[in-house]
Amino acid sequence: MSNPKIIKEISLWYVLAVAALLLSNAIGLFGGFFKENAGIIPALFFLLAPWFVLQRKGINPRTYGLHGERPVRSIVAALLAAIIVFPPYFVGFGLWAGFIDNATADWSKLPTIGWWLWLFITHFLAIALPEEVFFRGYIQGRLALLFKRRIKIFGVNCGPELVLASALFALIHLVSIPAPFRLTVFFPGLLFGWLKERTGSVLAPALLHAASNVVLAALNLVYH
């Protein structure tokens, strides 16, 4: 497929993803049941659209990392990334909360283990996995066809598609909440993209993505 066709294809499905989010936002305005379940629309879109596109083109979705093979490898990779990234994030969040809101940590506000597990499962299934399938699996995978040059980043061959997919990932977060701070997800998006290339699967970035959301929710409880 030529470059213009790939760009047109990606643009079309990205616009449809934005439309799915806008529809979800509109349905959520009805409140109650509708607000609680409107997120199903973009989640299903993110999950199913890549499979539809790739299967229609006769492409095995597995080649785009849409599989859960070698789960132990993905789990270990996500855990190692969390061990490296989360501690400095804790420190940075605490310093920022103290500087902006003059907040102090109240660790007694930390919920029980059941809360952690439930939030992780719901975020993994409803947010992290769908988004990683679409952005790291489909978007990043299709963008990779546009670039031949690669550089090694911690032993992994990466190209401009990793940066572009992270930028598109960040921009779409403005649809639900149009605030500049939402663009900061660009940076974890880079790590998610690297993990996908490192493991060959979207499972590792999805696990780290869900864990990151849970950690952020916990820190917001502790510092507010």
pLDDT value at residue 224: 72
If one counts every other C-beta atom within 10 angstroms of the C-beta of residue 145, the result is: 13
In this structure, what are the phi and psi dihedrals at residue 159, rounded to the nearest 5 degrees?
-130, -175
**H/E stretch holding 210:** helix 203-222
pLDDT 10s digits, 153-212: 999 999 999 999 999 999 999 999 999 999 999 999 999 999 999 999 999 999 999 999
> In the chain, what are the domain boundaries?
3-222
Residue 55 contacts residue 61 (beta carbons within 8 Å):
yes
pLDDT value at residue 223: 84
Contacts by 170-177, CB closer than 8 A, 24 or more apart: 172/14, 172/17, 172/18, 172/21, 175/18, 175/21, 175/22, 175/25, 176/21, 176/24, 176/25
Residue 156 contacts residue 197 (beta carbons within 8 Å):
yes
pLDDT 10s digits, 8-35: 999 999 999 999 999 999 999 999 999 9
pLDDT 10s digits, 34-89: 999 999 999 999 999 999 999 999 999 999 999 989 999 999 999 999 999 999 99
DSSP string, 75-101: HHHHHHHHHHHHHHHHHHHHHHHHHHH
pLDDT value at residue 1: 55
Task: Name the DSSP class of 182.
Answer: G
Radius of gyration of the chain (CA): 18
Instruction: Flag whether the pTM goes above 0.95.
Output: no
